[in-house]
Amino acid sequence: MYYFMLCKVLVIIGCVTAGLAVAKSKECDVLVVDEDNVTVNCSKRGISAIPDSWPEQLAAVNKDSQVRITLFNNSITDVTQFPVAPGARVAISLRANRIVEIRDDAFNNIERLFFLDLSYNRITGEVLRSEIFQGPYNDGVYADIALETLDLAHNEIHSLDRYLFQYTPNLTRLDLSDNPIEILDHVTILALSSATQLEVLNLSGTGIDDIPLDAFRGLVNLQMIDLSNNKFVTVPESLSLVGTTLKYLTFNNNPIVELNDDSFIGLSNLYELEVGENQLLEEVKRSTFTPLKRLRVLHLCHNPNLRFISHLAFRGLKDKWTLKEVYLDDNNLSELSTDLMPWGKLEVLGMTNNDWLCNCDLANIVTKQEAGTKFKSGEIPYCAAPMRLAGEYITNITGFCPTLDSTPESAKNKKFSFGNLRPKHLLWSIFGVAMVALFGMLLGLLVNTLKTFYKTKVKSQPIKYVNINADSSFA
């Protein structure tokens, strides 16, 4: 009996303690970094609804401060109206909840909301309506809110309402990545083009394979776009509509086979280009980068089948060279032309993890044109061939090239050298010699067989002469 009563008491104490722990876990903490930065931390508290009020400490916050309210990693499904929050700029994170609904007046009390993170939820296009971004209602109209950044990544959005950004005229950053959009339909295009102040747009992982020509027509301020992890087989021509403002383009992991003189037409102000992780990309053709007259950083990395870059890829740019950083790491390159670019004008060069054939051309690039001085510390490439140089740093290959010829490869009269043979070349040479020898043996056997057949079967018998006077058969 005593043991039973003791267990009952312990159970009650445990329940009370757990209840207090839950209650405590649902309380939001206020962290004052300084008088200009305040964080209201309500994350990972098991919260299932928007709080009715904020901790009392928040009331004492300077009205000109920046307030960050974090509610990420909770169990909120329905975003109801937020209580009034002080501060000149308010940021709210609802990342990683279970949101399936947002009320029309959700952010009505936070007119100075400049940052909103709704990523990693279950939001559909039907949930996103212009009404959820309405500001206070005055004189028969709803006011705008100050929203500048909207993160909608990793949701279930197929399409956007055409009036979605009606009350967010200051929107400059929009993240739609990893939503099952697949096709930029007419209403989605209207929604995007209405966000005329947009500077950054992330469409990566949306499954799109085309961007209609009028999709960016209203985006006269667009500076950065990410089109990675999609299904593009060519760089979309519609980018040329924002060519005068676009500065950063990321085009990773698309099923593109080649880059050519049509790929970047019109992108005359592009500052940084990233083309990586494209499994099918094999070659960069002539004049590919010619339109990029202000390019300063080129990332052409992690393309496992990229084996060829035309020596005219930068045609027309060498006299007005702007590139400072070029990264060619982790491709399938073995050779580069000495006149591909003015190597000495670079500030940073990356060439690691390629199958470099260390010949006099590469020695010319590394030493005479000073490309070897552009490698970052600890990132010096190795030789893959010829076999006697395999594993050597490419900066140590000048010993067999006492006189370096800077003549373009297309104009050279190169002499054959066994030292330039790669392992596969040697194997093919041995195989070729063996095949020639085998063919000679078979041909010899065939000739001998024909000669024997001729002698035994075809050659005429000797002529026999008969004395008709002595032969009685003629009597």
How many domains does the chain fold into? 1
Contact 374, 347 (CB under 8 A): yes
Residue written as token pair 């041909």: 443
In which domain, by residue range, is 95 found?
27-171
Q: What is the pLDDT of residue 17?
A: 35
Q: Which of 79-88, 96-105, 400-409 has the lowest mean pLDDT?
A: 400-409
CATH number at residue 66: 3.80.10.10
**CA pair distance 232, 251, nearest whole angstrom:** 9
Residue 186 lies in a domain: no
Residue 126 lies in a domain: yes
Q: Report phi then psi at 128, rounded to 5.
A: -85, 110
Residue 317 lies in a domain: no
> What are the pLDDT digits (tens) for 226-241?
999 999 999 999 999 9
> What are the pLDDT digits (tens) for 304-344?
999 999 999 999 999 999 999 999 999 999 999 999 999 99
Integer Rg of the chain from CA? 37
Residue 109 lies in a domain: yes
Average pLDDT value over all residues in the chain = 87
pTM of the prediction?
0.79
| Other CB atoms within 10 Å distance of the CB of residue 16 | 10
Residue 458 lies in a domain: no
Residue 231 lies in a domain: no
Residue 7 lies in a domain: no
Give the amino acid at 10.
L
Residue 123 lies in a domain: yes
